[in-house]
Structure 1
Amino acid sequence: MDLVPAFALRIPQQVITRLMGVPSALMGQFGQAATGLFDTSAGPADMQRSMDTVLELLGEMVAARRDHLGDDLVSDLIRAAEQADNPLSDEDLLAQLMLVVIAATETTVHAIGTLIVHLLTHPAQRALVVGGEVSLDDALEESLRLQPPAASVPLRFAVRDFEDAESGQVFRKGEPILIHAAAAGTDPDVHTAPGVYNVRRPTRRKHLAFGHGPHVCPGAPLARREVVIAVSRWQERFPDARLAVDAARLPQPHSFIANGFTEIPVLLG
């Protein structure tokens, strides 16, 4: 079976469906469009098509919710937007919802899949987790450090000429800047043997998988629980599972943002 559509994708889709009140019938379309938005090899027309699809689906959902407000995050945002002194425009509301739906789905899919791959390809490390010597939470943090589900922050642009004091790199006004947050987890000045998956690593939590400071992902606690619960149940149900191909052959997204595997073929026993 392919672990991604059969398992890793279903967990965050079900969670976001229940949390936000997204109709389950729309999640497949959301998922396809979200994958398109993360595909940084796509051309402008394809990217715009994915964006338009997401916004159209969200617009339909918001319109339906306005007529029948419920006990879900979308309804709460609609109420808050309408009651605020400076209410959100429909455009701003859709942009916020798009960020939540996409970020809560695509990244969590990769976090689940990557953690399972790390455990399947490191049997000694997996044995420590299964035997209770190391928690699955710690195994997840080490996985997030080594291969976070979002590798880079989408492009920023210099608003003035400046020089980075650390590297001496000069940036000119208007130039694009790509911040590769994943590199923080493999800094050899912070992590000993940073390319090794080690669930007992004392610096496993020193990563930027969920951002930093005021930019920490507000959904990080939920994402961590989703991944730990999903992978825990997976290990209990399929203790003899193994990869069906060499890990080096697992395909990765066509993206410098999304970081994970698009297919994970496994044998269940």
Structure 2
Amino acid sequence: MVEPVVLDPSGRDIHAETARLRERGPVVPVILPGGVPAWSVTSHALIKKLLTHPGVSKDAYQHWPAWINGEIPRDWPLALWISVRSMITAFGADHTRLRKLVSKAFTARRTAALRPRVEEITADLLDRLAATPAGQPVDLRAEFASPLPTQVICELFGIPERSRPELRRTIDLTFSTALTVEEARDNGERLYRMLDQLVAAKTAQPGNDLTSGLIAARDDGDGTGLSRQELVDTLLLMISAGYETTINLICHAVRLLLTHPDELRRVRSGEVSWADVVEETLRVEAPGANVPLRYAVEDIELGGVTIRRGDAVIVSLAGAGRDPGQHGPDADRFDPTRPTRRDHLSFGHGVHHCLGAPLARLEVSVALPALFSRFPGLALAAPVDELGSLNSFISNGHRHLPAILGGPNNHRKVR
């Protein structure tokens, strides 16, 4: 048997680690923080097979014996990823019920209706950036990529402005895979306290927001609504997933364009579309690198190995995006004209495909052309190897994105 690979909790170099895994095979044993064994799947084709396999579950309480029997302690630093009771960890009829409730909030019509507000927020952020003194670097992650999707999702869920900074800091820590037991426990307690306060406030004074809508669904009384824990955990899922992926996607797209000037020229000339840039960025830099966890409900033959019933599995979306078997020998290269640019799994596949994918695409398709139009002289202010990682093997993004704006076009327009 192949010797297990101990995953780097800090996610310091996700792509190099994924390449090492692929060298050992498409399905290899790994060790998660805390010494927890799992399988990692890096093959695009095998991941698609796994994600549609009826014998694969995301419900640890039903299908992960190590969790059920207490071999994995409840204070395991990654416990929040598998202990939540929402559609992301549900199986079978429970998943269908929960997804149906949430999907009402992310219809194509409702997402499209958000465009004017996304454009308005983008324009306001660009105005603030334009006030930066000439030649002074600005962190585009902190000042642009982050506040855009964060503000959109907070407005959607009716989160008061005064609560947003602390909630954002606490949710960000849940993506860190290098926390100690104590740090993870304290952060989890703080997070649930804030979510409970949000639910209490919206229960007492409902508004025209998604939190109030989920509370109303919980109170329908026909057995199809949300339990208290499902309500809170669904809020956690939708708020965190509602901005983290998009922040990383914007940052990666900006960095890739600035480090590939020929591709940027092709985009500006109209030879390549912004939609092509978005899809190729999703492929080559999956915003969520590794997705924990899934469990084998039965023995599964995959990639020449047997994943035994009860084994845990991590899906490597970073591996799928750069799989040479799917995208060719130059799969590591950014190429918005690549024929397979749309054939990625960065928003998942099958029944757990991300409901918020259209909103993320909308936000990025507004943000990128607006940023590059407003600041045609935009340039990175630091080497790529100094941008830092997010201390996570789950979330794939830059810690900072320092840039020189290069002087704005003094017009307020979003294209």
TM-score by length of 1: 0.94
Structure 2 counterpart of 1:180:
316
Deviations 1:4-27 (A, max 9, x none): 111111001110121111112211
Structure 1 counterpart of 2:14:
none
Report the Cα distance in structure 2 between the residues aligned to 1:20 and 1:225, rounded to whole angstroms. 18
1:254 is displaced (CA, Å) by: 1.1
1:242 is displaced (CA, Å) by: 0.7
**Residue 150 of structure 1 contacts residue 182 of structure 1 at CA under 8 Å; is this kept in 2?**
yes
Q: 1:105 aligns with which of 243, 252, 260?
A: 243
Report the Cα distance in structure 1 between the residues aligned to 2:162 and 2:152, rounded to whole angstroms. 14
**Residue 111 of structure 1 contacts residue 227 of structure 1 at CA under 8 Å; is this kept in 2?**
yes
Deviations 1:203-242 (A, max 9, x none): 1011111111221111100010111111121111111111
Structure 2 counterpart of 1:239:
376
Report the Cα distance in structure 2 between the residues aligned to 1:84 and 1:257, rounded to whole angstroms. 37
Structure 2 counterpart of 1:144:
282
1:93 is displaced (CA, Å) by: 0.2
**Residue 34 of structure 1 contacts residue 54 of structure 1 at CA under 8 Å; is this kept in 2?**
yes
Matched position secondary structure for 1:129: helix
User: Given the superposition, is the C-alpha separation of residues 164 and 43 from structure 1 closer, same or farther in structure 2, using an over 3 Å criterion?
Assistant: farther
Report the Cα distance in structure 2 between the residues aligned to 1:174 and 1:41, rounded to whole angstroms. 25
Within 5 A, what are the aligned runs for 1:98-137? 98-137=236-275
Report the Cα distance in structure 2 between the residues aligned to 1:65 and 1:9, rounded to whole angstroms. 25
Structure 2 counterpart of 1:169:
305
Report the Cα distance in structure 2 between the residues aligned to 1:218 and 1:178, rounded to whole angstroms. 20
Structure 2 counterpart of 1:45:
182
1:159 is displaced (CA, Å) by: 4.7
Q: Which amino acid aligns with 1:235?
A: F
Structure 2 counterpart of 1:54:
191
**Residue 278 of structure 2 contacts residue 365 of structure 2 at CA under 8 Å; is this kept in 1?**
yes
**Residue 115 of structure 1 contacts residue 143 of structure 1 at CA under 8 Å; is this kept in 2?**
yes
Report the Cα distance in structure 1 between the residues aligned to 2:215 and 2:190, rounded to whole angstroms. 21
Mean alpha-carbon deviation: is it higher for 151-160 or for 250-259? Answer: 151-160
Structure 1 counterpart of 2:158:
21
User: Given the superposition, is the C-alpha separation of residues 48 and 76 from structure 1 closer, same or farther in structure 2, using an over 3 Å criterion?
Assistant: same
**Residue 144 of structure 1 contacts residue 207 of structure 1 at CA under 8 Å; is this kept in 2?**
yes
Within 5 A, what are the aligned runs for 1:210-229? 210-229=347-366
Report the Cα distance in structure 2 between the residues aligned to 1:132 and 1:50, rounded to whole angstroms. 46
TM-score by length of 2: 0.62
Larger Rg: 1 or 2? Answer: 2
**Residue 251 of structure 1 contacts residue 263 of structure 1 at CA under 8 Å; is this kept in 2?**
yes
1:164 is displaced (CA, Å) by: 2.9
Q: Which amino acid aligns with 1:110?
A: N
1:163 is displaced (CA, Å) by: 4.9
1:268 is displaced (CA, Å) by: 1.1
- What runs of 5+ residues in structure 2 fail to find an aligned partner? 1-137, 407-415
Q: 2:203 aligns with which of 52, 66, 74?
A: 66
1:84 is displaced (CA, Å) by: 4.4
Structure 2 counterpart of 1:153:
291
- What runs of 5+ residues in structure 1 fail to find an aligned partner? none
Report the Cα distance in structure 1 between the residues aligned to 2:246 and 2:291, rounded to whole angstroms. 16
Deviations 1:115-159 (A, max 9, x none): 101111110111111111111111010000000110111133445
Q: Which amino acid aligns with 2:376?
A: P
Matched position secondary structure for 2:325: coil
Q: How many residue pairs were aligned?
A: 267
**Residue 34 of structure 1 contacts residue 106 of structure 1 at CA under 8 Å; is this kept in 2?**
no
**Residue 36 of structure 1 contacts residue 46 of structure 1 at CA under 8 Å; is this kept in 2?**
no
**Residue 251 of structure 2 contacts residue 401 of structure 2 at CA under 8 Å; is this kept in 1?**
yes
Q: 1:77 aligns with which of 208, 214, 220?
A: 214
Structure 1 counterpart of 2:326:
190
Matched position secondary structure for 2:401: coil
User: Given the superposition, is the C-alpha separation of residues 263 and 226 from structure 1 closer, same or farther in structure 2, using an over 3 Å criterion?
Assistant: same
1:171 is displaced (CA, Å) by: 3.4
Q: Which amino acid aligns with 1:144?
A: L
Which protein is richer in helix relative to its size? 1
Matched position secondary structure for 2:327: coil
1:170 is displaced (CA, Å) by: 3.5
Report the Cα distance in structure 2 between the residues aligned to 1:176 and 1:216, rounded to whole angstroms. 20
